[in-house]
């Protein structure tokens, strides 16, 4: 088993390395995480520090990304905004993956009435436009980063559940699963010891791509004013302040927009690369 796993990861890494765009995406994702972790060390200014003498100052050697309407350094706010956006993306998709994986495993393994009830629940959830469902829920809650993460996670697990269910339906009919039943393994042991490790590949892809979607959702909510609230910086609320001054303070919209674009594109490239690397139909 150890040899099998080591061989799998070596083949996976070889395939992933061939995809240069995916590697670039991975490097950008890693860079964003480092920026968010080291924000207090690399940020040139306090992101909330108001400077009335440098209101809406254009990019310069003193303020590389310019300043906003309160004289706050935009570069510092973009750096600290990475913390919020990445935290929301990772935690929200973590919630979605846990729920979706659990539902998919139970639905695919037990089938019958359990499968029918769970999949009809998934179908009902998929009937509602996710973003408008999030808007409706957030409207009745106090704006908070924790509520945003929970709501995005609780409305984004359906795709993962369907992927895991499909894998589970296939794996549960294999001979080693039948052998595990014959020697008296419990259902929980079969699910978590034998099925889950072999059904995790599509979950990794869905999680990677899902982080990008969660970051976009958080940015959109913050842009609309019902997400992360000022003075806490996030890419979305930096864009909100920039829209009122876009005619003569273009930097307020450009730099947070580029940060969102780079991060979402990087996650999508990395997710596509992981999917291709895990696809057995691709030549090694």
Q: For CA atoms 252, 255, 256, 257, give the dihedral sign.
A: positive
Identify whether the C-beta of residue 99 lies closer than 8 Å to the C-beta of residue 154.
yes
| CA 188 – CA 203 distance, rounded (Å) | 19
pLDDT at 189: 84
CA torsion sign for 100, 103, 108, 112 is negative
Q: What is the pLDDT along the chain (284 residues), one digit of tens a residue?
A: 444 455 455 666 777 777 788 888 889 999 988 998 898 889 888 888 888 888 888 888 888 998 888 889 999 999 998 888 888 888 999 999 999 999 999 998 887 898 899 999 898 888 877 777 777 777 777 777 888 888 888 888 888 999 899 888 888 888 888 888 888 778 788 888 888 888 887 888 888 888 888 888 888 888 877 777 777 888 888 888 888 888 888 888 899 889 999 999 998 888 888 877 776 555 54
Beta-carbon contacts of residue 216 (< 8 Å; ≥ 6 apart):
260, 264
pLDDT at 2: 43
Question: What size, in residues, is the chain?
Answer: 284
Domains of the chain: 14-48+62-278 (1.10.3720.10)
Place of tokens 């639905």: 107
Nearest-angstrom CA–CA distance, 102 and 142: 29
- CA–CA distance from 204 to each of 62, 64, 168, 200, 227 (Å)? 42, 37, 15, 6, 27
185 to 122, 178, 182: CA distances (angstroms): 29, 10, 8
Which of 270, 273, 241 shows the shortest CA–CA distance to 68? Answer: 241
- Cα–Cα distance measured from residue 76 to residue 83, given in angstroms and rounded to the nearest whole number: 11
The DSSP H or E segment spanning 181 is helix 175-182
Residue 34: partners with Cβ closer than 8 Å, 6 or more residues away: none
Give the predicted TM-score (pTM) of the model. Answer: 0.82
- Residue 67 phi/psi, 5° resolution? -130, 165
Tell me the C-alpha distance between 96 and 147, whole Å. Answer: 14
pLDDT of residue 34: 92
For residue 284, the model assigns a pLDDT of 47
What is the distance in angstroms between the CA of the first residue and the CA of the last residue of the chain?
21
């Amino acid at each position: 088993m150890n040899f099998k796993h080591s061989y799998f990861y070596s083949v996976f890494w070889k395939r992933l390395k061939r995809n240069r765009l995916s590697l670039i995406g991975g490097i950008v994702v890693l860079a964003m995480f480092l920026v968010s972790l080291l924000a207090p060390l690399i940020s040139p200014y306090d992101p909330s520090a108001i400077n009335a003498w440098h209101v809406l100052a254009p990019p310069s050697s003193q303020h590389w990304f310019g300043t906003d309407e309160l004289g706050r350094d935009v570069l510092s706010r973009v750096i600290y905004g990475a913390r919020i956006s990445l935290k929301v993306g990772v935690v929200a998709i973590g919630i979605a993956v846990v729920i979706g994986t659990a539902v998919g495993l139970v639905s695919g393994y037990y089938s019958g009435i359990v499968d029918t009830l769970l999949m009809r629940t998934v179908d009902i959830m998929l009937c509602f436009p996710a973003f408008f469902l999030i808007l409706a829920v957030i409207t009745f809650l106090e704006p908070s980063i924790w509520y945003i993460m929970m709501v995005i996670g609780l409305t984004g697990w359906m795709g993962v559940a369907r992927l895991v269910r499909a894998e589970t339906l296939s794996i549960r009919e294999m001979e080693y699963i039948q052998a595990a039943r014959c020697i008296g393994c419990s259902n929980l042991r079969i699910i978590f010891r034998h099925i889950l490790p072999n059904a995790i590949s599509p979950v990794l892809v869905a999680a990677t791509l899902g982080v990008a979607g969660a970051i976009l959702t958080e940015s959109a909510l913050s842009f609309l004013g019902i997400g992360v609230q000022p003075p806490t910086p996030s890419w979305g609320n930096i864009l909100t302040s920039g829209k009122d001054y876009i005619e003569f303070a273009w930097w307020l919209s450009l730099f947070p927009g580029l940060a969102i674009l780079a991060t979402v594109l990087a996650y999508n490239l990395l997710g596509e690369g992981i999917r291709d690397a895990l696809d057995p139909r691709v030549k090694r």
